[in-house]
Amino acid sequence: MAGMTPENKFGGSFGSNEWLVDEMYERYLADPNSVEANWQEFFSGYKPATNGAASSVAKAATPPIPKRQQVKEAPAQEIKNTPPPIQEVVRANPAPIPTPAEAVKKSAPQIATPTAARVEPLRGVSARVVTSMEASLTVPTATSVRAIPAKLMIDNRTVINNHLKRARGGKVSFTHLIGYAMIKALRENPEMNTFFTELDGKPAIGYPDHINLGIAIDLTKEDGSRQLLVPSIKGCEGLDFGNFWASYEALVKKARSGALSVEDFSGTTVSLTNPGTLGTVHSVPRLVTGQGLILGVGAMDYPAEFQGASEETIATLQSLK
């Protein structure tokens, strides 16, 4: 449409897509041919909003103050000191003004501050976990919740473990299967292995060289308290299932023996946590700095509304179409 500026044509605001317009505009300034023809037409008359625009609008909205006209003063007239006639004024007694009752001032409730009988400082890995969780508050995140059927995985795990029991021993856990499926998905979708960072004070994306999968391990300490550690398996993109299983078991063995080092916790790009082992159905895990994805697995069981139903009823419901 002729005579219509980009600001008027698009309403003057792109909302959450402002970043895309700014990025395309920078490309246009560097090389107009780097953007499509419709973008070239748009940017030919585009003026990015600046602080100066707001000030100019404020100036235009303020009307000019008219100059004061000079008024000729009239000549002073002689004032005669004639006393005005005195009139008798009858004052009525004013009605008493009722004073409102003072509002009852309520004292602010005193909140009791809990006091700890004993305070222990966090050291070592625990202190680093707290630092990472505090830093994670600055990471932009998006959470997606999915409910998927797991019956086939449960049955196949039973078949695999029965075979291992007869052949070589050992067993395969749900974390083994889900973790390796996660690695295969990251191979096909490498953009999920990227992380948020800053470059020269501006938002940027980091691209790791490897897939380092963090595994959440719940340990019981000597005093009976529990501790959650998340070391990572390095270079998972080159592992088959057998090597992944061996690396996983070696990492868990180090964690249970207290032999984990700082290197085991560094360089993690994605994480897998399984709160479902504690009965949790849905949780929102924390995405820490330097990671692009954390997968939380809930309880693999029938929904609560079917917990009390018989197997025959559940089978009937599953066969309905």
- CATH code for the domain in which residue 190 is found: 3.30.559.10
Asked if 211 contacts 270 with a C-beta cutoff of 8 angstroms, the reply is yes
State which residues form the domain around 180: 173-306
Q: What letters, b where the CB count within 10 A reaches 16 and e where it falls short, cover 221-251?
A: eeeeeeeebbbbbbebeebeeeebbebbeeb
Please write the tens of the pLDDT for every residue from 79-119: 555 555 655 655 656 666 666 655 556 666 777 677 778 88
Please write the tens of the pLDDT for every residue from 226-285: 777 888 999 999 999 999 999 999 999 998 988 888 788 888 999 998 887 777 888 888
Q: Is residue 215 part of a domain?
A: yes
Please write the tens of the pLDDT for every residue from 138-170: 889 988 988 888 889 999 999 999 999 999 888
Pairing of strands 202-206, 213-215: unpaired
Q: Is residue 292 part of a domain?
A: yes
Q: Is residue 143 part of a domain?
A: no
Q: Which of 11-15, 54-58, 98-102, 104-108 has the lowest mean pLDDT?
A: 54-58
Split into its structural domains, the chain has a count of: 2
Torsion sign across C-alpha atoms 174, 176, 179, 184: negative
Average pLDDT (198-226) is 89
46: tokens are: 């585009």
Q: Is residue 168 part of a domain?
A: no
Q: Which of 21-25, 35-39, 143-147, 227-231 has the lowest mean pLDDT?
A: 21-25
Q: Is residue 54 part of a domain?
A: no
pTM above 0.95, yes or no: no
Q: Is residue 180 part of a domain?
A: yes
Q: Is residue 95 part of a domain?
A: no
Q: Is residue 266 part of a domain?
A: yes
Instruction: Work out the percent of the chain whose per-residue pLDDT is above 70.
Output: 71
Average pLDDT, the chain: 78
